[in-house]
Chains A and B, each alone.
Chain A
């Protein structure tokens, strides 16, 4: 989705030009390329960076289970933001990179952040073979010939008190969000290019305060790029990625602005995509919790009558706060009600 934590990097530039919306994502996109509904996704090229656009990310979340049935959540994100469109060699490169890694347990939430300049080799994305890296954090493709470059990934990251080393195998196809990968973000027409791989089976090892924990579970990768994905009045969003027990997946988001903009995609177990019309899904915040000095809804009700869906999501750890350069809430959730399952929730822009 959508407005994932859009280029948080822009928060490093809180000048007047960047003061719009969350993390400056409502700012103007002068000189940058704009998403075009006529553009078709092409792979593997679109797995790589799009330097003509202002912001982009490779955003992976995973719901994992340990040997005693304990639930864990893992996040690995590489953000790209451009000070100017295009690329230049060495330190003159206008591309900036930011990595976020997190590990959530029912009791604790570990976070780390990395920043890097483009152009010198400290961070970046290459397509063949696929590699997204910042410092020693890596998302490496180890795919055989004929397979999609993202079909199999090795994922590593570490920070104070935690680390992980995971293997991801896709058990379904890539999924284009919105209209063939063109995802509208506001009534005014702001949009992004957006596709996902929501079918990862995950196995590997977590390190929690020096203790190794073998885990298995499910993962979801989002790829999105844009230049001005938010309307100027939009201040934040609530975004869901759900793995339901029957094998279907649901992506849903609400952009909060002068009027809320809600969008959702139903992904059947075989990868068939249905973009739900605006208004089809009802999103209702429930119980709130005090997190990092703010009040956030950690329970939600999602209703989708046409699919007979009426579920409640509960945070595994309500304190899943990302205290990074641009702070936001991102953590694993459990699904109960008409459908069972689990997934990830991201909430931004709460004051």
Chain B
């Protein structure tokens, strides 16, 4: 009996392959987008964990300068001679063309065992490592990225290291980074007894090991954003599944009744349907995983580029299949199918055995739920507003987004119902009245698909507005900030000296660009030394400034902080900021600093030099007549045999910055497009569903003399009208979304607030896209209707239940 019943149930799918395809496609797309995003996140997190484990930094206590500035090598020697089992480390960033290496210098003889990343004892490598020119260990991937840049480096050796990381001897690192005698921090060997921590010299602090690492914390918001997108895409995908399952249940009511009448227990029928559902979900889930893997593999290079550009975080460019996200994705597919089918199963459970199938009646009954939906929608909006007013941080920001979007989705059917009722009342002619009334009657069946379309459109408009606002602000900011004609990077202090001497008579100004690492208001960051020059006075983009700001900075009486630091540490003008070298200076200005996640401060050139151990000045900005810049660049390259990437003109730096920017949002754009595609599919599934059920309602019109072609046109117009209504609702929602992204989420995630700008032309494009999606979705049902055989329509009357 069960077998026969199962056969009867399954046969439905064989007769409706499109429905089956919709169900599987919806579920696998939802799973794919979700698990793709999770795969990317898992890959990135694994890379961070690896990076955090480098040199055992997640397990070893370290000693740093209290203000985070470099430690002098003499301090290391003095500590060793006082019995501290410390090992020196110098970390820095080494730019080779466009590749950036995180170079770590170590001292293998004192390095604690947990920090031994590379097995130097396994060959002749130790002697090669210690003796000039030294060796550099990197992963094969990193070595490939360095490429021709390796010509300027000691010989490379392969090692199992995180991407972007290079390990070398401390002496080689000091030379390559141009920081002779400087150390970033010291690692404390846990295997050797150390003196009492209270005897640590002043100015130094013990830092307990961090199990997580800076990168994971820094990039958390980025991954949270991706997850939110994945979840949105999943939810939109579930709308498709819901409508496909709902249709299948409706159409099989007759079969259910017959099976029940034949004696199949309700429990067995439910069980069979559940088994069918889970089986389909499993298939769709597996397909979704495969698709998700593909999506992730395709997007990962962009994500990796983004993370590198935005956070300096290195993520492996190749994807590994990790059981974590794969199992979670499959679980999401099963859970999603169950959630989507929940309503239908519940109805089946409560179905009177001989209840007549009355789709219209059922549809009207659903309409009674509108009031409840309206209450829920308004409630969600209220919650969003309350969260915005009272909450803070990234989670609150995402909560506001969720409340806003879900509330709008709930309110949409209410709004459409009111609109169509009004239009029906105002319509002239019986056909117009019928058109709007019929539209209204279809709303319950379409509302989920329309909600999906609304969410996708609003997300597109919102994110699009955010990105475009960001781009406009960012390019303007770059124009302000990058005013020097040439930027040069020298290889060592001697060369820097020579280059400066040679340049002095030929340019109007040589502005050193140099910085030291520091702990600013408890955050890791950098302090830049700035020369007193019109380049800064006239152009540097300040968000807030005290009177005479540049005079005070030049005199070493005040410090500038970037917006991120000002917001996170709540540093207003006049607030005191503790600096390396002792004492604190008042904040005299706040500058915008997009694209940089870290805290940053600027101090007068001489004032900074007086506070920190001699830091190298290897990079310079040059001011000169722009017309002479190319000639000077060529002469400079030739005179000092500089590598091509050592001299960049303004345009090159801008192009590089913009490229990083575009990459940053490439992933967002891709996810956006996919979400819109999924919403289109949801609409298609719903319209197809309804088309099958609507023949009984259209047949009387046909019988009254309306031509099929005319009826079909009306159906297409209806789809367009509904899409137009949704677009109208999506525009304000999208703008609100953009505002939340710019003013709440970005501030929490990155620490900067951007002015919002609106781009109505983009909305028109979006409206066009939505119309196209609606037409494409309606095309098949409309064509079917137009080609219906008169016999089918006549049958309606004979079969009328």
Contact = CB atoms under 8 A, between A and B. Distances in A.
Given A91-B171, A94-B131, A13 B80 contact: no
A13 B127 contact: yes
Interface string B120-140: 010110110011100000000
Category for how many chain A residues contact B = 20 to 34
Interface in A275-318: none
Nearest to A136: B83
Contact of B83 (A14, A135, A160): A135
Question: Which 10 residue pairs spanning A and B have beta carbons closest together?
Answer: A91-B171, A15-B124, A136-B83, A115-B109, A121-B77, A135-B80, A122-B80, A122-B77, A83-B127, A13-B127
Interface in A4-47: 12-17
B81 interface: yes
A14 B125 CA distance: 10
13 contacts: A12-B121, A16-B124, A90-B180, A91-B169, A96-B109, A96-B130, A116-B110, A117-B107, A117-B130, A135-B83, A136-B82, A159-B192, A160-B193
Interface in B49-102: 73-74, 76-77, 80-83
A82 B269 CA distance: 85
B80 A116 contact: yes
Interface string A81-124: 00110000011101010000000000000001001110011100
Contacts of A117: 107, 109, 130
Contacts of A91: 169-172, 174
A122 B80 CA distance: 7
A122 B82 CA distance: 10
Interface in B407-432: none
Given A13-B126, A17-B124, A92-B171, A120 B77 contact: yes
Contacts of A133: 81
Contacts of A62: none
A116 B130 CA distance: 12
A94 B74 CA distance: 19
B732 to A, nearest CB: 64
Nearest to A121: B77
Contacts of A120: 73, 77
Contacts of A159: 192-193
A15 B77 contact: no
A283 B519 CA distance: 66
A83 B130 contact: yes
Contacts of A17: 124
A26 B73 CA distance: 36
A160 B193 CA distance: 6
Contacts of A135: 80-81, 83
Interface of A: 12-17, 83-84, 90-92, 94, 96, 112, 115-117, 120-122, 133, 135-136, 158-160
B123 A136 contact: no
A15 B80 contact: no
Contacts of A92: 132, 171
B83 A158 contact: yes
A140 B109 CA distance: 24
Contacts of A14: 121
A277 B130 CA distance: 43
A116 B170 CA distance: 13
A160 B123 CA distance: 30
Contacts of B169: 91
Please indicate which of the listed interface residues A83, A116, A117 has the most CB atoms of chain B within 10 Å of its own CB. Answer: A117
Nearest to B73: A120
B124 A122 contact: no
B63 to A, nearest CB: 15
Nearest to A158: B83
B126 A160 contact: no
A84 B131 contact: yes
Nearest to B193: A160
Contacts of B123: 15
Nearest to A135: B80
Given A15-B124, A90-B180, 20 more contacts: A12-B121, A12-B126, A13-B127, A15-B123, A91-B169, A91-B170, A91-B171, A91-B172, A91-B174, A94-B131, A115-B109, A116-B109, A117-B109, A117-B130, A120-B73, A122-B77, A135-B81, A136-B83, A159-B192, A160-B193
Interface of B: 73-74, 76-77, 80-83, 107, 109-110, 121, 123-124, 126-127, 130-132, 169-172, 174, 180, 192-193
Contacts, number: 60
B99 to A, nearest CB: 25
Contacts of B80: 116, 122, 135-136
Contacts of B77: 120-122
Contacts of A16: 124
Contact of B171 (A12, A15, A90, A158): A90
Contacts of B107: 117
A16 B127 CA distance: 12
Contacts of B132: 92
Contact of A136 (B74, B81, B110, B172): B81
A15 B124 CA distance: 5
Please indicate which of the listed interface residues A13, A94, A96, A159 has the most CB atoms of chain B within 10 Å of its own CB. Answer: A13
B534 to A, nearest CB: 41
A136 B193 CA distance: 12
Nearest to A160: B193
A84 B80 CA distance: 25
A16 B81 CA distance: 34
A12 B169 CA distance: 16
Contacts of A160: 192-193
Contacts of A112: 192
Contacts of B131: 83-84, 94
A83 B170 CA distance: 17
A15 B81 contact: no
A229 B127 CA distance: 21
Contacts of B73: 120
Contacts of B172: 91
B127 A122 contact: no
A186 B180 CA distance: 46
Contacts of B192: 112, 159-160
B90 to A, nearest CB: 11
A278 B169 CA distance: 47
B253 to A, nearest CB: 80
Contacts of B124: 13, 15-17
Contacts of B170: 91
Contacts of A136: 80-83
B129 to A, nearest CB: 10
B110 A115 contact: yes
Nearest to A116: B109
A318 B491 CA distance: 58
A13 B129 CA distance: 11
Contacts of B109: 96, 115-117
Contacts of B82: 136
A17 B128 CA distance: 13
Contacts of A13: 124, 126-127
Nearest to B86: A135
A119 to B, nearest CB: 9
A167 to B, nearest CB: 20
Contacts of B130: 83, 94, 96, 117
A77 B109 CA distance: 17
B290 to A, nearest CB: 48
A159 B192 CA distance: 7
Contacts of A116: 80, 109-110
Nearest to A134: B80
A250 B393 CA distance: 79
Nearest to A94: B131
B86 to A, nearest CB: 10
A266 B132 CA distance: 46
B669 to A, nearest CB: 48
A192 B782 CA distance: 102
A135 to B, nearest CB: 5
Contacts of B83: 135-136, 158
Contacts of A15: 123-124, 127
